[in-house]
């Protein structure tokens, strides 16, 4: 997998093309990633004692890892280079 949790990425294809976000979770076996604020879907929650009417919540859905690319804030665009260990700690 070319990305890991905590990386800032830009979406390069799909409905959310051009949006940036941080990787929240990586599903290595499925080859998918969960990016904050990208691929939002409505989820209907059933009624519980805390919310007797139920609710609709927007949550992120995973997207395929091939649809994201590292985002370099200095250049303002996606790059193919993995950040070095020194850059990642700053």
pLDDT in tens, the chain (90 residues): 888 999 999 999 999 999 999 999 999 999 999 999 999 999 999 999 998 999 999 999 999 999 999 998 888 888 887 656 665 566
Give how far Cα 32 sits from Cα of 17, 43, 69, Å.
Answer: 16, 19, 13
> Which residues fall within 8 angstroms of residue 58, CB to CB, at 6 or more apart?
40, 41, 42, 43
3-state secondary structure (DSSP) of residue 32: strand
CATH class of 8-89: mainly beta
* Whole-number Å distance between alpha carbons of 89 and 58: 32
Quick check: pTM over 0.85? no
Q: Smallest Cα–Cα separation from 38: which of 7, 70, 15?
A: 15
């Amino acid at each position: 997998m070319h990305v890991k949790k905590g990386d800032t990425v830009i979406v390069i294809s799909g409905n959310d093309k051009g949006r940036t976000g941080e990787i929240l979770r990586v599903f290595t076996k499925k080859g998918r990633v969960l990016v904050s604020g990208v691929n939002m879907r409505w989820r209907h929650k059933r009624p519980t004692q805390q919310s007797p009417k139920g609710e609709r919540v927007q949550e992120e859905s995973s997207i395929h890892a091939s649809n994201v690319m590292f985002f370099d804030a200095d250049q303002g665009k996606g790059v193919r280079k993995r950040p070095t260990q020194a850059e990642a700690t700053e």
